[in-house]
Structure 1
Amino acid sequence: MNSVENLFSKNEIKTLENIIDTAIKVSNAQTGSLLLARNDGSLFIAAGRDLLDKYIGSRVDLDKKTVSGYVFQTGKPLIIDDNNISQFSRRKERKSYSISLPIKKTTNQVVGILNLNRTDKSFEKKSIPQLEAFTTNIAILLEENNLRQDRERIIIVLSEIIELFSSLCCNDTFNAVFEKTYYAVKILTGVKKASVFRLSKKRPYFVFTKEWPRKMNWRTFDSISQQVQDLIDHKKVTLISGKAKTQLLFIPLISDNHPPFLFIGILNKEIDIIDYLVLSIIENMGSSTLENITLFKNSKKLTQEKERNRLARELHDGLAQILASTQIYLHFLENMVSKENQNEIEILKKIKSLNTLGIEESRFILSELKGKPITASQFKEKIDEIIGLFIVPGNKIHINYQVELEEIPYRIYKMFLKILQEILSNIQKHAQASLINIHITNSKRQMILSVEDNGIGFDPQIIDEKGAEHFGLQNLQERVRILKGKFIIDSKSGRGTKIMVKIPYEENDSSIVWEGLEK
């Protein structure tokens, strides 16, 4: 009964059974059954009298050589009596008399069959019109049931949309919005395969997929490129016929305040005007949520920038000025101390050095707070300075510096210096290397550092197992991870060590996969 209970309410099932009972009574039949069509065109037994429960809901063969198959395909009533048994291969001899009538919609489409059986005598043709009236009632009931199911489906989808997008949460990620959009569309249309493309001038690329065919990228839509461009320009939900009786559903998620996206789903059926209306609501809600997220991030960024500037001013007018003044007094004090007091002179020099470091560190903090980029020449000078400080005399070092950027973001500059300093310090302490190769370069999306030595090497697992001993590398790994970069160690005892670091220019949205989906 499960498949029947999924399609009909208890009251509707009871009504179908009552119709069969009435048909049996009026026609003087003894048994009967009601067969209905599924969406795929197959038939199943929806209700019956004098049938075992296990048969209710079971599939019925649509072969034209069977009575049900013949009536369903021809749309004509059929009386089985002594005269026409032989034309159906499954009825070699008569065990009962029967009549089978098609159930037709107003469009004349056959959507089911009413079968009635008796053993005493054959059904008469004059009973057909009266019984067809019952099939008309059944067809009306089925139409009303379909409308009810459609209404319930729309209500469920709308409630899901309200729940999914009710908060229009500014802290959501783009990926979360794509997930919500997918599930809302899935409930409404049954779509299982879907993707979201980020639109760009060169070529749109994937940012989200659900069971999407790997070979199906933006080039797949070249043949309908003008239709796709029109729906993008007009921001209109559109259904376009695809291959193998599939339908391509396009939902543009486009606004002036967030990047443009295009949701695409693969359907196996048409959608009606109500579906379009609900999909338009989904499109509006999705775009609004993306817009809220973008505006919130921009507002948050502006607030952070204002706060950084405020802290920078406080630091510059406060601590930085105090340190600079202290440096002047230390210089005067150094000149006043007698050369004979060597201990005092050494202490003053150390205090002066520490104060100098404090001034330099405050300048670094000021640069970071202001987000002031570093020039390529400043970057190269600092790299050379660190290499000069941490390379052991006698070691051979090869430097390949190919940075094609006029300015380096401060966070990358600072991280690169710390990473390089930690790596060279570890080589100095542990590696026993005689040759070091350093490569610093950049791609369109990221800065890349590679340091390789010919030292004794080590097992990279000890970084996790002996965290205290290798805290520096462990700390760097965590810093790079926070920046959404990559930290790769390739080492083995007796084979040397190679460390590669990649740091993206922009702080990526971790919810979006930009690489690896389409090339």
Structure 2
Amino acid sequence: MRKSYYFVLLFYSLLISAIIVHYVFSLFNFQWQSAFGNIQTLQKFIFVLFFLTMSLTILLLLVMKFVQMATLSSIKKNIRHILDGQPIRPSHQVDIDRGFHKIATKLTLLTENLQKSENQVLQKEEVIIEKERRRIARDLHDTVSQELFAANMILSGIAGRLDSLEKHKVAQQLQSVTAILDTAQKDLRVLLLHLRPIELEGRSLVAGLEVIVKELTDKSDIEVHFEHQVDRIPQKIEEHIFRIAQEIISNTLRHAKASRLDVYLYQNKNEVQLKMSDNGIGFHREKLDEVSYGLKNIEERVYDMAGEIQILTAPKQGVAIDIRVPLLEGSEK
């Protein structure tokens, strides 16, 4: 309570006390002159007036405190009812009750919208999972399954004509089967590399990217060139950039048909730059939205870091992705 309120309350109590004293004087025909003419009587009069004023002030303060506590108790109960979804109890204060009803209405709407959003997210996740399942099944069918089928057909042909085939033709066909199986094995490794995500797990960003690069070179025919010059990057940005690099590598494995991938990671005092380019088949720029859900994930991560992304591509010209993320002063690692 502000000091001005106490002064107003004290003045109000003094005014009431004066009115009471004046009424008592009039009721018993006391004379003001006699009270002020005698010092002892004046002292008693001042003491009674002071005591009466203070008593009224304390009484008013207690009443106000009681009303305040009752109001706060009612507010707390209504807040608890709102959170529990129960009806609001009237507090006999129109403004407060109206405010509570508005809050309850907005909270109900927010809860409904949140539930709808969560349902939409779940549905979207289910759609994404279903798309990934179909993509994996398609990749298996288009690569490993077809290659194994071709190898099986050649071996069946050899088995059916083994007595009539010359040795050098049998050797040639067996070499073809071996080549097909080697290709199937590489395609399967690439697919497994995409399905098994690598975590940073306490590594630095450069160390994590080096692990990915080694996996990629060991399990695919893609040649990777990795250059880096970084110092201290905030952990959240490191995680985002690491995931972005993983997604770009995944897209390169799945779509690019590239033989080379260049990765550049540079940092200055103002920003971090990640640039990745391949020599694959590329795509039409106007079809960017149709190419990959992964590219949309990359863009969302970049925008979450207040960064910028530029995608350069053309058919048979490969893809180059340039990402720049600002570094703020005082950012914690």
Q: TM-score, normalised by structure 2?
A: 0.37
Which has the larger helix fraction? 2
Structure with more of its chain in strand, by fraction: 1
